[in-house]
Structure 1
């Protein structure tokens, strides 16, 4: 499936599976949302106490294990890590802050568009702007340095953690939280959710599907391979939504969404920019972590921490709109992402070199 036809088929399957998950119980336009589901997991294990978004989502577990199983089967599992881990953790946290301002990750953005939510188009504009910003620094030598080969045991840890989460979900001990209302209380049956995650995880691993990568590769290389998958999800999600009567074109009355176009856009600027620096969108980070990439596993931990931060400090938006705390956080995060971009690019090296030359001249 490493061709354009294969990724179009993959996008079509993901779009239709996402609509099917809504049919079986997931929130509308949220068959898959990496940010929302990681936020729910953070609540499920008690990292935040927002009662309406607490549930260990089997879809996330399935994505990781699907990628893990297929990568092992095809000899593509490789344990690597050590590339600026704390920077990646912080960037992952900031991706989550941007996503919860928009109320969705890039995957949910395309699913919202496929459901007729025009608010998500503002997010798409911001997402593309953010990717352009990230590409600007890629073209100027941005690099988080190389990673290193590690023992397989290190790469196995993240899939094992996800198996542990599934055991907690199935056993439902008293210390695991389950929403009784709100989006966290809306979910497809466990077996269906897990199966959907396994399928999409395997397909995403096979095709290298990435929401950020599609636009990035088109800008850098005029390569439309990944972009074709991105577009296919929108088209087939729209077809599925129309067939089931879920399609609702407009700005108002959209599920788990707000109508503040500026902050929808700025939230996704942050998501797009930081994701380019990380080398992939939240979905891609989960798939890479399943393949043994511990840098991506660290990034996912940053997403998890960011979700807890958002709900513990009132940073997340709601269907009523963004919070003031969230607006301040997004602006500060954009400043930090700009600083990370600059410091890790050739621009900073050239500036340092010029300062050294000036110093030598003055000293002489």
Structure 2
């Protein structure tokens, strides 16, 4: 009962913080969006040159560093990796393509709906369907195989990179690019944003909160622990938006959103199918990366490169809607994801069959 209470309170606090971050300058109906923020970081580093989305988001840095510090303090830090690293990179790449078709990760999906953006309803439909497809793959034996113990240095490097990025941000390094208009120019002051990220990191690290796990565990194990956090987020964000006057219901004229229901739906199907195979949503991958999980670090780099690829080749949606390139990319990614799912399940069955043969011979 205590754990359920904690995740309800934690989920509510995250959403209240997200709404407050809009008051401090973050884009409306965004607050905290891991996919969008990774995209902004990619552009600030010059990996793509979309001038309206260039900024190093301290919220991301705060989540990673908080998870790292807490894991060290509780002796939960374990540097491990080697679980199908290149497939994980591809899955991270695919997840971000789906998220940028919808224009947000599951975290932002909840914020958009709570802010009155009814286009998010199509995203929620895709969110559930994507998880269901992923569950079918898990039941068929999908596996990315085991991870192995790594040196502590491996686990320390990603938090160290985040510290360097924050120093570059607050020193306004000439190596970084900064938006002068658009969503990238809308941000809370650096130290406030870092504090927001640290607070979210504490909650996510302690409760293991994950947007994908709520529906996955409900269906697989009849466990609604994570789902309580999801619902608490939605209710708290709705109340927060009403309180501060951010709630504007409708389909049109929503901030950083488009009205194409089909591609909103398909984008989230793609993102959530990939997230289930990865074992967690983008926010959960950030927390795991701080705990020494090198596989999650590889996933995040896949997202970073995927975000750059999206904007370099016009694969990301905008308020005008999806591009032709983005529609083709989503279809291609469904095909690739199907191949990865099939062969990962088939490989697992082949291994089990071989073991049965070996046992029978022995």
Q: Please indicate, yes or no, whether the TM-score normalized by the shorter chain is above 0.5.
A: yes
Per the alignment, residue 356 of structure 1 pairs with: none
**Cα drift, residue 250 of structure 1:** 1.2
* Offset, 1:152: 1.2
- Equivalent residue, structure 2, for 1:246: 246
Runs of 4+ in 1 over 4 A off after TM superposition: 350-353
1:357 aligned partner: none
Q: Cα deviations across residues 284-339 of structure 1 (Å, max 9, x unaligned)? A: 00000000000000000000000000000000000010000000000110111111
RMSD of aligned C-alpha atoms?
1.7
Structure 1 residues 88, 2: closer, same or farther in 2, change over 3 A?
farther
Instruction: Kindly indicate whether the alpha-carbon contact (under 8 Å) linking 2:100 and 2:316 is maintained by their aligned counterparts in 1.
Output: yes
Higher alpha-carbon deviation: 317-326 or 69-78: 69-78
Distance 2:268 2:101 in 1: 8
Query: How much has 1:187 moved relative to structure 2?
Result: 0.3
Q: How far does residue 175 in structure 1 lie from its aligned partner after superposition?
A: 2.1
Corresponding position: 1:74 with 2:74: yes
Report if aligned partners of 2:215, 2:227 keep a CA contact under 8 Å in 1.
yes
Q: Return the alpha-carbon distance in structure 1 between the equivalents of residues 127 and 197 of structure 2.
A: 24
- Distance in 1 between the 2:352 and 2:244 partners? 59
Worse-superposed segment, 169-178 or 259-268:
169-178
Q: CA deviation at 1:347?
A: 8.0
Residues in 2 aligned to 1:154 and 1:283: alpha-carbon distance in whole angstroms: 21
Separation of aligned partners in 2, 1:347 and 1:218: 27
Deviations 1:243-298 (A, max 9, x none): 00001111111110000000000000001100000000000000000000000000
CA 1:351–1:323: 2 relative to 1, 3 Å = farther
Report the Cα distance in structure 1 between the residues aligned to 2:83 and 2:282, rounded to whole angstroms. Answer: 17
Contact 2:62–2:198, Cα closer than 8 Å, also in 1: yes
**How far off its partner does 1:129 sit?**
0.3
Equivalent position of 1:264 in the other structure: 264
Equivalent residue, structure 2, for 1:300: 300
1:1-364 matches, within 5 Å, as 3-346=3-346, 349=349
Query: Contact 2:142–2:348 at 8 Å: present in 1 too?
Result: no
- Distance in 1 (CA, whole Å) between partners of 2:352 and 2:3 is 44
What is the aligned partner in structure 2 of residue 362 from structure 1? none
Contact 1:215/1:227 (<8 A) preserved: yes
Distance 1:259 1:347 in 2: 40
Q: Deviations over 1:173-209 (max 9, x none)?
A: 2221000000000001111100000010111000000
* Cα distance in structure 2, aligned partners of 1:348 and 1:295: 19
Please tell me whether the aligned partners of residues 2 and 206 of structure 1 are also in contact (alpha carbons under 8 angstroms).
no
Distance, in Å, in 1 between the alignment partners of 2:103 and 2:231 is: 20
Cα offset, 1:167, TM superposition: 1.0
Aligned with 1:259: secondary structure? coil
- Which stretches in structure 1 are left out of the alignment for 5+ residues? 354-364
* Alpha-carbon distance change, 154 to 352 in structure 1, aligned in 2, over 3 angstroms: closer
Is the 8 Å Cα contact of residues 2 and 207 (structure 1) preserved in structure 2? no
Supply the distance in 1 between the matched residues of 2:81 and 2:350 (Cα, whole angstroms).
28
Query: Would the aligned equivalents of 2:141 and 2:348 in 1 still touch at CA under 8 Å?
Result: no
Distance 2:171 2:262 in 1: 43
Name the counterpart of 2:359: none
SS of the counterpart of 1:206? helix
Q: Aligned equivalents of 2:268 and 2:18: distance in 1?
A: 21
User: How far off its partner does 1:350 sit?
Assistant: 6.2
- 2:154 and 2:7 map into 1 onto residues whose CA distance is 30
| Alpha-carbon distance in structure 1 between the residues aligned to 2:155 and 2:173 | 28
2:143/2:348 contact within 8 Å kept? no
Q: Is the 8 A contact 1:342 1:348 kept in 2?
A: no
1:349 CA displacement = 3.7
Which ranges in structure 2 are unaligned for 5 or more consecutive residues?
Answer: 354-362
Contact 2:141 2:349 in 1 (8 A): no
